[in-house]
Structure 1
Amino acid sequence: MHAWPASEVPALPGQGRDLRIHDTATGGLVILDPGPVARIYVCGITPYDATHIGHAATYNAFDLVQRVWLDTKRQVHYVQNVTDVDDPLLERAQRDGIDWAALADQETALFREDMTALRMLPPRQYIGAVEAIPGIVPLVERLRDMGAAYELEGDVYFSVESDPHFGKVSGLDAAAMRLLSAERGGDPDRPGKKNPLDPMLWMAAREGEPSWDGGSLGRGRPGWHIECVAIALDHLGMGFDIQGGGSDLAFPHHEMGASHAQALTGEFPMAKAYVHAGMVALDGEKMSKSKGNLVFVSKLRRDGVDPAAIRLALLSHHYRADWEWTDQVLQDAVTRLGRWRAAVSRPDGPPAEALVEEIREALANDLDAPAALTAVDRWTARQEQHGGTDEGAPGVVSRAVDALLGVAL
């Protein structure tokens, strides 16, 4: 599966700072020093309703991570998946009377278009669950053969008790886990499971649903968590720098994935930091496919909204915050974009070197994009009020905002 084209990232003078970022597993900031190649895995979409603002906010956060690392002169090895077969996708395809694979292709193509318009840097590998099945099957067989998985009526489940570190990603107790498991795709009440929290690794073929050859597992399809584990281990290996996604993935997805990988390899941890973006609401409720209260990037673009304004709207909220999308949020972003573009269109302006360092410091401090925007606002206000004599300043600001914030002025 191919990703989307990369926008050019302008080179800036000097060098960025190492990233300090909030790690869900420890509950505090960690300083990441990845070495010459930073490794990040971000969980992708299930392609049946792309791309809503909640998606965009999540991928914007991890785009900032890439930009901070690139500014430190590192390379970035970024991997993202597409869950192109799963129950919600099959249910939507059946509801709409469309082939499930065609629906997945259609929505994935739309996602690529939106990511390109928003100037999100693409992953080096963009892997669908279906194409990953040949790598998933051997992992499930290994877990079964080593006693970390078991069969139940043809399905294969992972035993969470096989990983002594289970629970260390989310930090939740068993009761909270059980509630979230039921809400987020698990089946804690299924009779015969060794532990209600045990997640499915391989679902035996069901009538009327797609299935693949699973070798000794029989025909079926993979569970949600093992999909990402197989892709991450194949392309990044254990101990990569960041496992990322929305905050609703901390449990069960990232918790289970970490345990799968740790049981398979005997190593801990799967990732050095688990980083989660906040949820976006609309009309007082979390924006979600199940509620149908979605604002789509593609619809905004069709309505003539500049993608740079959409990106500024996302950047105006801290990535870990839960926030609400409103018409005012978008209008404020449109106004800000207009002011910034007018400011950098002048032939000279106030010196900009200190501004570049302010943006760098803000982003290195747990991706504090709102602080970075405020710094650019201050420079813009000086330009509007007094102008300046530095002929290179507007160009420096334009390149810094592009390179570090992904906003083309």
Structure 2
Amino acid sequence: MACKFHLGDKRTKRFNDKQELAEYVQNVINENISGGKATVKLLANAAPSEAKVVMRVSGDNLDRLREVKNALEAEIAKIPGTSNIRDDMKDETFQLEVNVDEDKASNLGIRKYDIQKQINVALYGSKTSVYRKDGEQYNILIQSNIGNTSALENLEIKSSITGKKIPLKQFATVGIGSKLDSIGTYNGEQSVEILLNELPGYNAVAIENIIEYEVLPKVDTSGTKITFDGEREEMATTFGKVMLLAVCAVFLIYIVLLIQFRSFIQPLVILVTVPLSLIGSGIGLFIFKKPLSLTAVLGIIALIGLVVKNGILLLEYINDARKEGYNIDEACVDAVGKRFNAIILSALTTIVGLIPLAISGSGLFGPMAISLMFGLLVSTFLTMVVIPVIYSMIENFLENRNKEVLIKTEE
């Protein structure tokens, strides 16, 4: 089924991102469709794909699960920024219930097998033969026209023992009951998942924190266990792995620099610039009001290589100047003067290339581009100051210490 939505005048009806468009369509559906459920979903960029806020209610009593679920959904709906609150508990469906008086049935010569088989045939039909035509065959299904409980009560059950037909109502009662077609489980326990989306401009992690620390204390959840499995938990799991890999990457970079400069101290001077990228990335994400998502962290990690590259160039020129006879301070000033234009221009070209991605409105690549741009911008300028200063401090300290050792040796 295809649906067409009128979004108004193209010149006046604009959406800042896909999330705003999805929210608009969801509101239109909610206002015009009754007696059913319709959910607008965007293609997921990463797990969790169904919703960014997911909480699970587990317990042994299904009725208690339903009570807690309803209470939580009512409280969550009051939180600003929440949308499309739903759960995976199936609605109850109605079914025919046949309660057999086994003693009466046995006295009449009716077995359970007779009752089950003949009621099944009456309600669902039975394949009796095959109709063949033009090389094709079609099953012939015989089915009764029973459409209500009174008709089923008058169904005559044939005894496989006596051969007599006896109306079902003489040894059984027929009623209508409700049941759940399926019951969700998690780790062997009955469970219900509550899912919700956030409106544009709101943060899923912040909403989840509000639910855990403000909503749950107000709701009676006794007899159930509440767990969260949304973006917050996914970020915590993924961030742990990513940060471990980042530490390994920094260690490998240190080994490479150790081989290149043949010094234990100078690689550490270069790696001091790595935390500087965090300052710029944090400022950029704050200005553009972007969350610290997984892609933003990946952008920060990617900055490690870019920042280290600038540090290597600067330190290499400082060492060359020292070999030419410059003192420590003169070598630092000379290296900055010679490499300033090259380092700044290479950083600016990278930043300009990331601008289209940053302003694209993409929830996946936008935070990564912003963290790269601002992290590189701030760290580049700070690198031109921090590396010469730290290098000068360390080298002056080492030279003074060597002089003191030499003087003591001569004495």
* Structure with the larger RCO, 1 or 2 (CA within 8 Å, 6+ apart): 1
- Structure ID, larger Rg: 2
Q: TM-score, normalised by structure 1?
A: 0.24
Q: TM-score, normalised by structure 2?
A: 0.24
- Structure with the bigger percentage of helix: 2
